[in-house]
A = this chain, B = another copy of it.
Amino acid sequence: MNSFGRKFRVSIFGESHGEEVGIVMDGVPAGIMLSADDLRPDIARRKSGAKGTTPRIEPDKPVFMSGVFEGHTTGAPLTIIFKNTNTHSSDYSLFKDMPRPGHADYTADVKWDGYNDPRGGGHFSARVTTPVVAAGTIAKMTLAKVISERYMIDVRPSVEATLIEIGGEKDQTKWPEMIDSIVKEGDSMGGVVECVIKDIPAGTGEPFFDSVESVISHAIFSIPGVRGIEFGDGFAAAKMKGSEHNDPFIADEVGEGEYFIHPSKNGAGGINGGITNGNPIVFRVAFKPTSTIHKAQTTYNFAKNEMDSLAAPGRHDACFALRTPVIVESMAALALADLVVLQ
C-alpha cells in the first residue's frame, strides 16, 4: 500500500506524468512553525541537473493544500503537492511494448492488468519521492519538537545521509571522471549511502516486529532501486567474533560524580534488541545502477511477439544514487518520527 506509519502516517500519490505528485501527512503535531521555504533546502538536494542526473528539471515548488494555517501546522492532515510541468509523454508506448530490463514496466503491467499509467514509469517513478522529501523535513521537525517537549530540554536530533561510494569507488575525487565515462557509454552506475542519526533517546523502538531496524528497513526498501541495507558493522559482523563485534559499556564522567553510561563503540549501529541504546543510529543502503540506459539491452517485444533489442531513448539519471541521500534521510526520519511519537 501507499501509506506508512501508525500515528505519524503518510500517504503518497501521483505519477511521473500526471497532474501532480503529493503526500498527505496524518499525525503531525499542531503548532510547528512551517512555511514552504522550510522545505526548499532538502528538496533542492534531491534536484536533478548536475552531471550524471537527468536533464528533466522540475520547479519542485511545494504547495500546502491543507493542515497549515497562519504559518503553523494545525494538527489536521497536512497535504503537500508538487505540480508536474516538464513532461514529455509522446513515446511512452515504447516501454509498454518492450519492458525495460530491471524496471517495473513488466511487473506493473502484470499486477494491474495493463491499466497502469506507463508514462515516465507512472506511479513507480522516483518523481514520487519528491513529496517524501518534503514530508521528511517535517518529520525531522517533529522529532525535534516531540523529543524536546518530552524530555524538557532543547534537542535537535539530526538525520544525515551521505553518498560514500559510487560504482565501487569511495574516493570522491575520481567520481566526476567516472560519471563522464558512464554517460558516454550510455550505461549507468549504482552507489552506497550512509545515514547517521543522532540524539534519538535510548529506549526507542520495540522488540520484534517494530524493532528500529524493521521499521527503518521497511521505509528504506520503499525507495525505488534499493538492493540492501545494513546496520552498524552490517554484513561484516557476520565475519567477526562476539568479542570484536560487541560494544562494551563504559562510563564517562560528565559532572561531579555524574556518569554517562554508553557503548564505547558502535558495532550495533545504535540498536540492541531492536531498541536504541543512545548511540548514533548508523546504517548503509545499496542502490543499484539506474535501469534505464541508452545502451542496447535484450528484452521481449510484446507488440511483435519476439525477442528484441532496446536502447532506451529519453532522459534519465546515469547514477540516480547521487540524488538519493536526502531521500534516505527522509524515509529514516518518517520511520523514526512514527516510533518516537508512539513511544
CA distance A6 to B14 in the complex (A): 20
Integer count of this chain's copies in the complex: 4
**A238-B27 contact in complex given A104-B275, A115-B72, C-beta closer than 8 Å:** no
Please determine whether A24 and B24 come into contact, CB atoms closer than 8 angstroms.
Answer: yes
Residues of the B chain whose Cβ atoms lie less than 8 Å from the Cβ of A101: 246-249, 263
A251 and B268 alpha carbons, distance in the complex (Å): 45
Distance A126 CA – B251 CA, assembled complex (angstroms): 29
Asked if A307 is at the interface of the complex by the 8 Å CB criterion, the answer is yes
> A209 at the A/B interface (Cβ < 8 Å)?
yes
Q: Can you name 25 A-B pairs with beta carbons within 8 Å?
A: A12-B77, A12-B208, A12-B209, A13-B76, A30-B115, A75-B115, A101-B263, A104-B272, A107-B276, A108-B275, A123-B207, A167-B239, A168-B239, A185-B241, A188-B242, A215-B218, A227-B231, A227-B234, A228-B228, A228-B237, A228-B238, A230-B235, A234-B286, A245-B289, A249-B300
Contacts of A26 in B (CB 8 A): 1-3, 11
Complex contacts, A144 vs chain B, CB 8 Å: none
Contact present for A264 and B298 (CB under 8 Å): yes
Selected contact of A261 from candidates B167, B202, B235, B300, CB within 8 Å: B300
Bound-state Cα–Cα, A103 to B232, Å: 14
- The proximity string for A residues 103-145 relative to B, scoring 1 for CB distances below 8 Å and 0 otherwise, is 1101110111101110100111000100000000000000000
